[in-house]
């Protein structure tokens, strides 16, 4: 009886401490917004959500104000939730979509980035560290733990998952250890977490050794074998949001063809692989009546930090593209449509 009383008292105290910490401390100020979905995935009143990988993760800016979600918010006046994760896989995208659909209300608009290399796989590329329940990605287990119902699990595994989920929802420190540690570290060092010392605003040029090395790796991957990845994962993502009446817009982001031409001798063949895959993706999106923004050929190299990632100018340009779409979407028919704007001379 005493042991039971001890556990009850411990649970009450743990819940109280976690509740006070979550709602009355300044812990959110010390979280990296680029990983916010892993620490604070509760609905915050935002009507816009960004899902994606490093292309939407704003790693090549100097200040938080230059980040993609901040630029969209500044240009549109709407609150934006950043849910893009560095190195996210298609399976990570699917789980992020489920998490957002779980927490956000109907009428929310989600913009999900599709990088040019997303639907091409390389036999020598082993970039995803995690594997769980047949899914591959860098955030599979963490995201799965945050989702209320895992219907694809076995009966007993589903019961365990629901108990773990309920426990994590009650005890803040259990579900957000990283957030607590970031808060403690921030208090000790006095520094906020948006550290741009390693990732900063830059404009690609032909003397960029990092970009050259990236292109050489890219060329080696193509030499070892290339295969197409099916587009069917987009149907699964669309289905998740459609059930919740959340709007999803697929954003096709650019490829720095100037950089490929500079460093890769067989650049015409490489560019044609992605041009053909882009055309196939457009056909798929149209046939399924999915809404999309096509920026694949809409950026020049001044907007790019490397082959795939945008710099501060590029983030501002894609933000302007998205905001223009937001302003005009009520004028469009509710069918699949291509939407492009001239982003080369976007004001900062």
Q: Residue 102: how many CB atoms within 10 A of its CB? A: 15
Instruction: From 126, 312, 295, select the one nearest 217 (Cα to Cα).
Output: 126
pLDDT tens for 315-339 read: 999 999 999 999 887 634 444 445 5
CA-only gyration radius of the chain, Å: 21
State how far the Cα of 261 lies from the Cα of 245, in Å rounded to an integer: 43
135 beta partners: 132
If you average pLDDT over residues 135-151, what whole number do you get? 78
φ/ψ of 226, rounded to 5, equals -130, 140
Residues 6 or more apart in contact with residue 223 via CB below 8 angstroms: none
User: pTM higher than 0.75 for the full model?
Assistant: yes
Q: Determine the pLDDT at residue 220.
A: 77
Q: Residue 70: how many CB atoms within 10 A of its CB? A: 20
Question: Taking all residues of the chain, what is their mean pLDDT, rounded to a whole number?
Answer: 79
Tell me the CATH class for 2-191+204-331: alpha beta
Stronger pLDDT, 324 or 195, i.e. the higher one: 324
**Domain ranges, ordered by start, for the chain:** 2-191+204-331
Residue 53 near residue 115, CB atoms below 8 Å: yes
312-328 and 68-76 are packed helices; what angle lies between their axes, rounded to 10 degrees?
Answer: 40
If you average pLDDT over residues 309-319, what whole number do you get? 94
Q: Determine the pLDDT at residue 60.
A: 87
């Amino acid at each position: 009886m005493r042991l039971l009383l001890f556990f009850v008292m411990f649970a009450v105290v743990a819940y109280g401490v976690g509740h006070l910490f979550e709602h009355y401390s300044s812990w959110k100020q010390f979280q990296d917004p680029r990983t916010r979905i892993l620490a604070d995935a509760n609905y915050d009143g935002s009507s816009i959500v960004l899902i994606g990988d490093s292309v939407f993760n704003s790693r090549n800016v100097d200040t938080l104000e230059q980040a993609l979600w901040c630029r969209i918010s500044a240009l549109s006046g709407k609150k934006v939730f950043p849910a893009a994760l560095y190195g996210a896989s298609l399976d990570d995208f699917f789980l992020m979509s489920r998490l957002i659909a779980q927490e956000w209300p109907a009428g929310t608009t989600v913009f999900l980035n599709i990088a040019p290399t997303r639907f091409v796989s390389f036999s020598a590329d082993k970039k995803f560290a995690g594997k769980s329940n047949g899914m591959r990605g860098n955030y599979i287990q963490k995201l799965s733990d945050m989702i209320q119902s895992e219907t694809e699990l076995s009966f007993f595994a589903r019961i365990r998952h629901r108990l773990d989920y309920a426990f994590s929802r009650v005890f803040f420190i259990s579900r957000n250890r990283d957030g607590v540690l970031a808060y403690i570290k921030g208090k000790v060092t006095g520094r906020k977490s948006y550290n741009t010392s390693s990732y900063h605003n830059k404009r690609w040029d032909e003397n960029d050794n990092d970009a050259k090395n990236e292109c050489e790796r890219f060329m080696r991957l193509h030499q070892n074998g290339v295969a197409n990845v099916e587009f069917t994962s987009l149907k699964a993502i669309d289905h998740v949001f459609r059930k919740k009446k959340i709007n999803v817009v697929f954003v096709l982001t650019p490829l720095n063809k100037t950089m490929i031409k500079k460093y890769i001798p067989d650049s015409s063949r490489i560019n044609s692989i992605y041009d053909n895959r882009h055309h196939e993706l457009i056909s798929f999106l149209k046939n399924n009546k999915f809404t999309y923004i096509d920026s694949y050929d809409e950026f020049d190299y001044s907007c790019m930090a490397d082959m795939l990632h945008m710099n501060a100018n590029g983030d501002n340009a894609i933000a302007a593209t998205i905001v223009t779409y937001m302003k005009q979407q009520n004028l469009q028919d509710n069918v699949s449509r291509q939407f492009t704007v001239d982003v080369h001379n976007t004001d900062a």
